[in-house]
Amino acid sequence: MKAVLCHQYGPPESLTVEETASPKPGPGQLVIAVKACGVNFPDTLLIQGKYQFKPPFPFSPGGEVAGIVSDVGEGVTNLKPGDRVFALTGSGGFAEKTLAVSHKTFRMPDGMDFTTAASLMYTYGTSYYALKDRAGLQAGETLLVLGAAGGVGLAAVELGRTLGTTVIAAASTDEKLELCRQAGASQTIKYSHEDLRERIRAMTGGQGVDVVYDPVGGPYTEAALRSVGWRGRYLVVGFAAGQIPAIPLNLPLLKGCSVVGVFWGAFAEKQPADNLKNVRELLAFYQQGQIRPHIQATYSLDEVPRALRLMMDRQVMGKFVVTP
């Protein structure tokens, strides 16, 4: 089969596309013929050796796939060859076939296409877990989303709207902010040009926001934390800007607010039943028309380096998907 391979850590351009042996399923595993694989920021970190987990070389990046089960290992009883599924694989997805474990593989609902199914788990899974389970977001509250036109950011905007909150979207360009308005943001801030703190103070009458969703880090974090209202929650989701910010700890004290870590991959691993419940709730939102992944572009396996490069250059709005 054809696969994108990483033989050593490096930039996207160091990836190769090669013929390699098809995977064989071990106990509890299944093989999926990949029809679509979502591109996520962690893929850019994985190939550079900057991510939390490090698969042995050579490996394919690509952490969430949708496709057709082609083989099942011992002990897999809930799925069979021919089933249309989507799965969280962590890596291995930028290939014609990949391995998945049965507890992180879900049957696709009728009527859903592979590209959509490969765009739900990482972004909506992360953002739903963050907003619902970690922040306890309530209808009527105000939610500020940084990097709001990116993968997890845009999912947070849609879910914030779905959960009945007022969403303020912050992003770097007018085009990105227009997409955020279409996804449900009622107010927007171009944080590359506008003072984030001043704008939030004006928008909230000095009260601040109830919840901040921060997948960006870097210089925006402190301004956003200073914009949290009394008993607010600050969600630490990621550091796409590349810099892990240090924060003055007097700020959570003065605001009586919580700084809350979000690690969805660990949640899916340690609390599979709770994750399954969230996946089902997300599928219900999809079927009710509340959430719709925005697919900006699809790429072939040969074009994976280009897709990852564009992501590292802040050029993706919503999702890129690879269709082997």
Ligand X SMILES: NC(=O)c1ccc[n+]([C@@H]2O[C@H](COP(=O)([O-])OP(=O)(O)OC[C@H]3O[C@@H](n4cnc5c(N)ncnc54)[C@H](OP(=O)(O)O)[C@@H]3O)[C@@H](O)[C@H]2O)c1
Site string for ligand X, 37-56 (x = CB under 6 A): ---xxx--------------
Judged by CB under 6 A, the residue of 25, 62, 90, 147 near ligand X is 147
d(CA 113, CA 151): 19
Coil, strand or helix at 256: coil
CB 205 → ligand X: shortest distance, Å? Answer: 25
Determine if 122 is a binding residue for ligand X (CB under 6 A).
yes
Does residue 62 touch ligand X according to CB under 6 A? no
Smallest distance, ligand X to C-beta of residue 240, A: 3
Q: Does 63 bind ligand X (CB under 6 A)?
A: no
Q: Which is nearer to ligand X, 100 or 149 (CB)?
A: 149
The widest CA-to-CA distance across the chain, in whole angstroms, is 61
Residues 6 or more apart whose Cβ sits within 8 Å of residue 173: 149, 190, 192
Judged by CB under 6 A, which of 240, 279, 283, 310 binds ligand X?
240
For 81-160, strand residue ranges (E) read 84-88, 97-101, 105-107, 142-146
262 binds ligand X (CB under 6 A): yes
**Considering the complex, what minimum distance in angstroms separates the CB of residue 264 from ligand X?**
3
> How far apart are the C-alpha atoms of 319 and 173, rounded to whole Å?
17
Contacts 24+ apart (CB under 8 A), 15-19: 15/47, 15/61, 15/304, 15/305, 15/308, 17/301, 17/302, 17/304
Judged by CB under 6 A, the residue of 242, 248, 256, 272 near ligand X is 242
Cα separation, 120 vs 266, in Å, equals: 17
For residues 29 and 124, which CB has a smaller minimum distance to ligand X in the complex?
Answer: 124
Q: Is 70 in the site for ligand X (CB under 6 A)?
A: no
Question: Which residues would be at the binding site for ligand X (CB under 6 A)?
Answer: 40-42, 122, 126, 147, 149-153, 171-172, 176, 215-216, 237-242, 262-265, 311, 314, 316
